[in-house]
Amino acid sequence: MPTPTPNPPAPGPEILAAFEAAKGFMPVGEGLALYAAAVEAGRLGLPLLEVGTYCGRSTILLAGAAREAGVTALTVDHHRGSEEQQPGWEYHDPETVDPELGVMDTLPTFRRTLHRAGLEDHVVALVGRSPKVAALWNSPLALVFIDGGHTDEHATADYEGWAPHVAEGGLLVIHDVFPDPVDEFTGQAPYRVYLRALASGAFTELPPTDSLRVLRRTGDGI
């Protein structure tokens, strides 16, 4: 079972520069923590999976870690945007709207992001809704990173669909966990999923970084 190192691994300058240049919302500090978790989990020799691709900002970090470990990064998204990214919301980006259809389509931006970073060979994009993809999945994963929709319906479905696939010793990482409602900006569903994971007895918490929570799979009971 991999164990944390005193000096967590950091991405190389080219990966960090690609991450910072990519469209997305994850702060650098949380990104560095995600990368370190992915490198550690990658030592299990199993794929790394994220739910919620958007334009590929965090995918770059998982792909960089996957390349180091000789495994594959998987990323799941329907690429139509989550609730807070729709027109009229603060996090909507008009550049992600398909000019012909008039709906969001972040897939082209995501593909450009990976191409520019030189990481296309290390990523498999699973285009579809998370519960439908999860229902077809039957292999263990070294890491599951939940960063999809922030409603209770979507966050719960992501947890129920993917957390059972985290291998023994693998990591479940949850983004946008805000225990205090004053701090949240898209709802506390990720926080409730985080509490559910801890209450299951299947996970042990590792040190957090801001809104990023890292849990190690140490038992059954999900």
φ, ψ for residue 213, nearest 5 deg: -115, 135
Phi-psi region of 117 (alpha: psi -120 to 50; beta: other; left: phi over 0): alpha
| Half-sphere exposure for 30 (CA within 13 Å, toward CB) | 18
Alpha-carbon Rg for the chain, nearest whole angstrom, is: 16
Please tell me the distance from the alpha carbon of residue 119 to that of residue 117, in angstroms, as a whole number.
5
CA terminus-to-terminus distance, the chain: 20
Q: Which of 93, 103, 86, 88 is nearest to 57 (CA)?
A: 93
Two tokens at 163? 């957390």
Of the residues 78, 79, 122, 150, only one is catalytic, namely: 150
Which residues, other chains included, contact 167 with Cβ-Cβ below 8 Å and sequence gap of 6+? 44, 46, 140, 141, 142, 217
* Residue type (1 letter), 134: A
Instruction: Specify whether 79 is catalytic.
Output: no
Residues noted as catalytic: 150
